[in-house]
A and B are shown apart, each in its own frame.
Chain A
Amino acid sequence: MLIGTAKHSYRADEALLTTSPQRLWMAILLIALALAPLALDNYWLYLACLVSINVASATGLNILTGFTGLVSIGQAAFMAVGAYTVAVLEARTGLPFLVNLVVGGAVAACVGLVVGLPSLRVKGLYLAIATIAASFILHFVFVNWQSVTNGNSGINVTPASLFGVELTDYVHLYYVFVPITALMVLGAANLFRTRIGRAFIAIRDRDISAEVLGISLLRYKLLSFAVSSFYAGVAGGMWAYFFRVVTPESFPFIYSIFFLAAIIVGGMGTILGGVVGAVFMTLVPELLRFAVEWLTTIFPNAVTALSPIRTIVFGALIIGFLIAEPKGLAEIIQRIRRFFHLWPFRK
């Protein structure tokens, strides 16, 4: 039982992890992440890398939609910008891959600034439509800017290399992607301890009041788009090194819906929500494969018959979790935490 979290300084009050159980669990999580490849086979390592990429991008979208209140359905297009940038840089310049990732993020951020311009006049569904339009324009550019993107055939990406080691095995990619994503999530968490992050939240809660308080909507809305797109760009760059082929069809529109669903299911406006939402959306369809596989021991050829049901179950799980907890999975975790605050004395 934790009877109190008395803080004796502003520094302690602003800390990311305020209680010792939090610090303990975070330490356990970090150790588990570091040691996970020792226990995981290639399949699970692949999924871990994919989760890592999706967490980075979902966290970016959470900054924009969850924390700033600007709805975007163009996250996949920003990822594509990052992926193409990385693919072109890798093929033509031979720059180190970490530099490529940062440049990929920067180029996506610049595109995000432009796409974010309508947010100064419209919001809500109107802004969502504007971001959809932007993603279709970008798709057109990817298909038709042949000299750079190689059109529909796309670009093959040579493996990234770090300290002379080619990053082709999932275990190598895991040890690169997971720290990058962890840094990005840490950065996002810290962002909301600064004036910039608080300005984002103020805009979300009431933009007119925020402006009255001296927050420049022009500056901060565009900054939110830029930061979110940077996250998407870096995630897209990791995606390019992961799958090693980038085509206009690599980032379909439905992928943007995936990220929006991830932050809604996880919990908008919380860092934890973006993370658990991306984990849930990526891993649950895979876990349901095992349910189908288990059923094949009872019903032969169950994979064919039950695959459509797997999709329905996945949808039902999303709806079920949202009915049980509209604030998302992050709130469920918070509720569990609150339960243990008083345990074992709570009725």
Chain B
Amino acid sequence: MMKFSRRLVLAVSTALTLSLGASLPALSADEIVIAGSLPLTGMFGFAGVGVEAGIQDYVKMINEEGGIAGRQLRFVYEDTAYKVDASVAAFNKLNSQEEIHFYYGDSTGFAKTINPELNRMGSILMAGTSYASELNDPATYPFQFMAGPDYTEMTGILLEYIAKEKPGAKIVLVNSDTEFGRDPIAGTKARAQELGLEIVEEIITPPTAVDVSTEVLKLRRARPDYAIFHGYLLAPIPEFMSQAKQLGLDTKFMGTFWSMDPGSWAKVGDVANGYMGVMPYRYADDEADDAPMLDRIRQMRPDYRSTPYMQGFLTAMLFSEAAKRTLEAGKELNGENLKAALNTIKDFDTGGIIGKPITISGNSIPVGRIYTYNAATQKMDPASDWISLQE
């Protein structure tokens, strides 16, 4: 019988690890390749898994319809665990294996880090999970865009809603102490002033704060009509809501895209009832008449579709539309042509994913709708019509 000595085990494990280092060849040169650095593990793992499913479904749908001008789409991606160095490694690895036309990035940090390389290469159009306001600058980020409003535009949509519902309302801003959290503060304050709304308190907390009793006391002193949270996935918003309810505050709690997943709120229970926020997309279970694409999504994926799924799906749709318009114009698929084609999108019907036709004149789509969480049905119910900041 073979004896498993320490040396043998070490040698075999090292040899196996090294032998797998040989890269696999790319499949075909005629395809349109979407590549991605996805956070499939780590704190944003849920986002990566949702985005991957959304992009895969749209790619499958287009390929079954014959592709774009006869060319099939292919989606290749790597896990990054939401780490910038791993994202850049994935970008370089995929670029060394494929001729990439579109790229999906996993964070603001990656978008900023890879931007000089994107500009130098000039061959790729990129979008991603980040809605950072800084990226909404076509001069600095000419080959990037976001499939929705930037964070300042998201809070801008919330403020439009508030100004209409309760003119002169008092607002408290609660932001996490991260680049993500602090992103819209200055823009929100400026826009609130323009709309005659009063920011009565600004609260900054650690991103995963647990004990928020001091902050809730600040909230009680300020007695705002609305509290706008940004920079959180969920915690500590439920804790704020729970303590505010115990104190008898009638403040309405609001948030932005990343805290708008009903699947996450369902685990919170009744205290989540009434939580509001801005969503750039319809939820997949919305059975509106003018949303045929949602019917197709439900057919393809009957199980739960998260908010990142919708983001991934729409991003793939916009990638495809940019490729289609570029090829129709007889131009080469490169960053400049693809971005120019993307910016020709005017009054475009997304099949109901966004409830009104969209126009992409820059790097963002400043459109959204306010939804309210219903704990009884565990769904987000529309609380407003679609609000566009372009109008």
Which residue numbers of A lie inside 8 Å of B, CB to CB?
41-44, 46-47, 50, 143, 151-154, 156, 159, 168, 170, 243-245, 247-250, 284-294, 297, 301, 303-304, 307-308, 310-311, 317, 320-321, 324-325, 332
Contact = CB atoms under 8 A, between A and B. Distances in A.
Given A153-B179, A154-B179, A307 B40 contact: yes
21 contacts: A42-B95, A43-B89, A43-B93, A43-B95, A46-B88, A249-B179, A250-B109, A287-B21, A289-B78, A289-B90, A290-B21, A290-B24, A293-B23, A301-B56, A304-B40, A307-B40, A311-B41, A311-B81, A320-B9, A321-B10, A324-B9
B333 interface: no
B179 A152 contact: yes
A50 B89 contact: yes
Contact of A317 (B13, B40, B85, B177): B13
Interface of B: 6, 9-10, 13, 17-18, 20-24, 40-41, 45, 49, 52, 56, 77-79, 81, 84-86, 88-90, 92-93, 95-96, 109, 112-113, 116, 120, 134, 177-179, 182-183
A152 B183 CA distance: 8
B113 A294 contact: no
Given A151-B182, A154-B179, A288-B17, A304 B49 contact: yes
B17 A284 contact: yes
A308 B85 CA distance: 18
A156 B6 CA distance: 48
Given A249-B109, A249-B178, A287 B88 contact: no
B21 A168 contact: no
Nearest to A244: B116
Contacts of B10: 321, 324-325, 332
Contact of A247 (B56, B85, B177, B179): B179
B92 A46 contact: yes
Nearest to A285: B86
A177 B17 CA distance: 26
Contact of B179 (A248, A284, A321, A325): A248
Contact of A42 (B49, B79, B96): B96
Contacts of A43: 89, 92-93, 95-96
A98 to B, nearest CB: 21
B112 A324 contact: no
Contacts of B22: 290
Contacts of A284: 17
Nearest to B117: A168
A294 B18 CA distance: 13
Contacts of B77: 303
B96 A41 contact: yes
A288 B183 CA distance: 35
Among A248, A250, A293, A297, the most chain B Cβ lie within 10 Å of the Cβ of A293
Nearest to B86: A285
Given A153-B134, A304-B40, A247 B89 contact: no
Contacts of A170: 92
Contacts of A44: 96
A46 B52 CA distance: 25
A50 B20 contact: no
A116 B249 CA distance: 48
Nearest to B52: A304
A321 B9 CA distance: 10
Contacts of A303: 40, 77-79
Nearest to B17: A287
Contacts of A143: 177
A308 B40 contact: yes
A156 B112 CA distance: 9
Contact of A297 (B24, B41, B52, B120): B24
B113 A245 contact: yes
A307 B90 CA distance: 13
Given A50-B89, A168-B120, A294-B20, A152 B113 contact: no
Contacts of A50: 85, 89
B88 to A, nearest CB: 7
Contact of A310 (B45, B79, B109): B79
A307 B38 CA distance: 10
Contacts of B24: 290, 293-294, 297
A50 B49 CA distance: 27
A332 to B, nearest CB: 7
A47 B79 CA distance: 16
A290 B88 contact: no
Nearest to B116: A244
A143 B113 CA distance: 19
Contacts of B23: 290, 293
Contacts of B52: 304
Contact of A243 (B9, B45, B113): B113
Given A290-B21, A290-B22, A243 B81 contact: no
Nearest to B90: A289
Nearest to A41: B96
Contacts of A245: 109, 112-113
Contacts of B96: 41-44
A245 B134 CA distance: 13
Nearest to A140: B177
Contacts of A332: 10
A10 B109 CA distance: 53
Nearest to B179: A152
Contacts of B183: 152
Given A243-B84, A284-B17, A320-B13, 19 more contacts: A43-B92, A46-B88, A46-B89, A152-B182, A154-B179, A170-B92, A245-B113, A289-B93, A290-B21, A290-B23, A293-B24, A303-B77, A303-B79, A308-B41, A308-B45, A310-B79, A317-B17, A321-B10, A324-B10
A308 B39 CA distance: 11
A176 to B, nearest CB: 17
A303 B92 CA distance: 17
